[in-house]
Structure 1
Amino acid sequence: MLTPYSTGDKNSFAWQTARVRWPVILTQAIDDVYRTVSATKDEAKQEEGKKIVEKLANLKYEVQHDRPLAPIEDDGFPDFAVYNEELKKMGSAGWLNGSWLFLECYLYRRISTFFSQSKQWKDYDIFNRQKINTFRSSRPAVLELAARYKELVKDLRADKEATHDEEAERLLFSEMCEVCLWGNATDLSLLTTLTYEDIQKLQGSEARKSAEKNILINDLPAAFDALKKAKAEGKAERRVDIILDNAGFELYVDLVLAGYLLTAGLATHVVLHPKSIPWFVSDVLPSDFAETLSLLANPKPFYETPSDDEQLQGITPAPLAAVDEANLAFLFQEWSKFHAEGQLIIRPNRYWTRPTPFWNLPEEAKDLYEDLKASELIVFKGDLNYRKLTGDCDWDPTTPFPEAIKGMGPGSGLNILSLRTCKADVVVGLPPGKDEELKATEGGGGDSGARQWGWNGKWAVMSFSGGK
């Protein structure tokens, strides 16, 4: 029988998440709201903010002392009932001995009620400061990638009428997906150049090999074939969907991938799916997309204004070079044009913040399911989406990915590509013996039974299921 990973399992990453990470996240949330309360002159907002701080502190106490799980209050969003139904099924399970996936989703849903039930704080994102600071700290990578992307787009447009070498095209697709996979862990030495002429050299570079050895499963060829097949069939509309993960640099590289797919003609439309509420600290909200574009449109104040930490240390950021400003302006023009013309679409849905596995999507969200069936490829970004695809269960690691995603797999009408750096216990699709081999590496878990190699984001999988 399949068992979901539990916060009561000492060999699971869930154990330390519940006892260490959640209290830290709540402490940071309390600090964030307190800072905003201190900075506002609006007395009504101050008073409400203080009450939210109190609620967050009480929630932290509940987690640390394993208090009973309170029902989600009705805040006007129907998914509160979904959570409360699941709570009933859990019986006496508490914070420190229950389904990790459910409890983590429940934690963020509880936090969201504190804001949605307020008057002055309804649209407040407690994680926005962290997102912005992380994106600012990614400045070298952002600028490097902007220059490479601009060159790539020019090359693609210059060669538009030419018949491409399919192998070079395939390698370029792989490069773009790998940049997207690693997000802010991207080794930018991989992006020495992205022209067709140099793609073969790039493929053979040491940096490329170094990153590739950490990709345990690479199903990108099958995903590329699905897009090429749709193009060969002459479909007028060929859509790719990206179920987003983190804001900041990761959203930026997701936009790089989206822009590339549209420019290269591998897709005619890209639909981005953000979350509807602040979620798992850094997940993308619709407002993050708008903020990212506005930062690209006017990057000098963003990159040249010292952060709070830099001010304390007396550090002044270096001025932004004119060429970097021009490259970022190019990205803004490209992506805002795609967005204005309806080729780059933002489509939030409350379903993405439900606590249940995606196995249930065809039954639980019929309209969303029917909409997704119109897509040629659905790219699920990140660790949480992978956990939801596989139910966050203790699968045999050799179980094929299409089998582990159940109702989202073969026969579902969905082609799914999961790009995931491993930051949790669940993993499927590995060759026999690979899990044991990785456990035997330093810090991999050894004889403890814990899959510690899967906790640190060093290893990655790119798993495909052809469901059309």
Structure 2
Amino acid sequence: MPATVLPEPAIEPVWTSQEGSMARDTALNRWPRIVQAMVDDVTFAAKSANEPQRLEAEELTKSLDSIREEIVADAALKPLERDGSSDIQRYNDQLVSLGTVSWLNSPWLFAECYMYRRVQSLFARSKGWKGYDIFKRQKDESLVKSRAAVEELATHFVENVMNARLGGRSSHAEEQKLLFLEMTQIALWGNATDLSLLSSIGVDELGSLQGRNAIEKNRRNVVDDASEAVWSYLAKPTRANRRIDIVLDNAGFELLTDLVYGAYLLESGQADYVVFSVKDFPWFVSDATHSDIDSLLEHLDNSVLFPNRKYIEPLVRRLRCLFEAGSMTFRSHPFWTEAASFHDFETTSPGLFKCLRSSALVIFKGDLNYRKLTMDGLWPHETPFRAALGPLGAGSGIRILALRTNKSDVCVGVEDPVRLESLTRESPKGEWLRDGKHAVISFSDGS
């Protein structure tokens, strides 16, 4: 008998018109600054460009500045110009279905995706700036500034995973579990670029009370923590060729934590191969693209930028080896840069949906993926995660793990009323929803 799929929940997505919301603040304050930074980037890059590119850059900056002025003036959203990609029509169809909407009075998720897609269309329709990553300079600078965290992560992986080979020691089940919890915490908090948040326990401490206490301390700010359930699922004997998919969020240091997490899942025997999903083009400032993976490894190979080579070199060698062997691969798909909620996954991209259904586990990283998973709706916080997933929850057949630090108003899975009351009391203005210091490790087995 086929599993029963839950009906679409009656929850509306958050709008940029909602006073006091993160959506409103983002539209009013952050979007104009982000677009201005784009103008500044193109202006800087044009200084070293050839004459045709410089002339075209002037037009690009005018168009970008026009977008910024529209946001400030709360102009109506207008149809996207065609650039040869099929998703343009889907954006415009969504816009028609919404009726008359403006920058400060529209569904937040749609308007934000629309903004980045409109910017991409400018470059896609250009001659000398096709494929230009308007955010690359910021991504590279962020990685270089994270040198201490990179060195600490490399040390942790080489000593506790590569050298210890804990994954192959079946007699040490408790150590394997604790290492999984630790590595999952690293993947979760990777966008903090500060591993001082983590215990970084040593291999000799994994089975000790000290190791357990350190990991528990790190989990206190995880308001929905399903890591034990995920471990129980992954630790079960399974068929060969088990694939785990990781839908990436940010480039830079967070991307490194994700690659290391994928390598750990392979070393520990929890995955036979790992597939990373990247964006087709520059997206939401720091989201990872195919070229960001290459750039990351090239930066780590640079002994001037990263002079402490003891652990970084063996880490990079291992990552390159896993990519070359096909144990780790990456792919992109237009769906990841569309404005659709993931609730529309099966109807919008049935092929990708079917592919992910065959995965042993799909790990969604970051705030934007979490917003799309939950339809960017202001659910009651005690709503179970699998209920907020709608068609991707019960009966979907997709096993989902969301690793997300809280940076927007939507958050579900806080099913303990005592914990929810405590959070409300400690953060009367809802700071725990946005401060990046609280997080979720949410899991649905799709059954």
Shorter-chain TM-score: what band?
Answer: over 0.9
Unaligned residue ranges in structure 2 (runs of 5+) = 1-9
Maintained 8 Å contact 1:156/1:264: no
Q: Deviations over 1:147-183 (max 9, x none)?
A: 11111233443x5653232222111111101011011
Q: Deviations over 1:53-109 (max 9, x none)?
A: 111000000111011111111111111111111101111221001101110110100
The count of residues paired between Structure 1 and Structure 2 equals 436
Equivalent position of 2:344 in the other structure:
360
Q: Deviations over 1:285-341 (max 9, x none)?
A: 1100011111222x22334xxxxxxxxxxxxxxxx2xxx213211111111111111
Maintained 8 Å contact 1:424/1:455: yes
Distance 2:200 2:101 in 1: 51
Of residues 100-109 and 288-297 in structure 1, the stretch that sits farther from structure 2 once superposed is 288-297
Equivalent position of 1:339 in the other structure:
323
Change (3 A) 1:56 1:161: closer
**1:43 aligned to 38, 51, 71, which one?**
51
Q: Which amino acid aligns with 1:300?
A: S
Equivalent position of 2:189 in the other structure:
182
Matches within 5 A, 1:265-280: 265-280=269-284
Maintained 8 Å contact 2:225/2:440: yes
Are residues 1:119 and 2:115 paired?
no
Equivalent position of 2:393 in the other structure:
409
3-state SS of the aligned residue for 1:420? Answer: strand
Q: Which amino acid aligns with 2:46?
A: V
Change (3 A) 1:160 1:422: closer
Matches within 5 A, 1:230-249: 232-233=237-238, 235-249=239-253
Equivalent position of 1:2 in the other structure:
11
- 1:189 to partner: Cα distance: 6.2
- 1:439 to partner: Cα distance: 3.0
3-state SS of the aligned residue for 1:271? Answer: strand
**1:218 aligned to 200, 209, 225, which one?**
225
Distance 1:85 1:161 in 2: 52
Identity %: 38
Distance 1:80 1:196 in 2: 54
3-state SS of the aligned residue for 1:346? Answer: strand
Q: Which amino acid aligns with 2:423?
A: L
3-state SS of the aligned residue for 1:347? Answer: strand
Are residues 1:76 and 2:60 paired?
no
3-state SS of the aligned residue for 1:440? Answer: helix
Of residues 432-441 and 132-141 in structure 1, the stretch that sits farther from structure 2 once superposed is 432-441
Equivalent position of 1:310 in the other structure:
none
Are residues 1:26 and 2:68 paired?
no
Equivalent position of 1:290 in the other structure:
294
Q: Which amino acid aligns with 2:224?
A: I
Are residues 1:441 and 2:430 paired?
no
Equivalent position of 2:98 in the other structure:
90
Change (3 A) 1:156 1:374: farther
**2:169 aligned to 158, 162, 165, which one?**
162
Maintained 8 Å contact 2:179/2:206: no
Change (3 A) 1:291 1:467: same
Matches within 5 A, 1:98-137: 98-137=106-145
Q: Which amino acid aligns with 1:200?
A: S
Equivalent position of 1:251 in the other structure:
255
- 1:430 to partner: Cα distance: 1.0
Q: Which amino acid aligns with 1:363?
A: T
Change (3 A) 1:220 1:161: closer
Maintained 8 Å contact 1:269/1:343: yes
Equivalent position of 1:308 in the other structure:
none
Q: Which amino acid aligns with 1:93?
A: V
- 1:360 to partner: Cα distance: 1.1
- 1:199 to partner: Cα distance: 4.4
- 1:437 to partner: Cα distance: 3.2
- 1:265 to partner: Cα distance: 0.7
Alpha-carbon RMSD across the aligned residues, in angstroms, is: 1.7
Q: Which amino acid aligns with 2:114?
A: Y
Distance 1:161 1:144 in 2: 24
Distance 2:405 2:142 in 1: 18
- 1:425 to partner: Cα distance: 0.5
Maintained 8 Å contact 1:152/1:194: yes
Equivalent position of 1:312 in the other structure:
none
TM norm structure 1: 0.90
Change (3 A) 1:171 1:364: same
- 1:433 to partner: Cα distance: 5.3
**1:464 aligned to 439, 443, 447, which one?**
443
**2:266 aligned to 262, 266, 269, which one?**
262
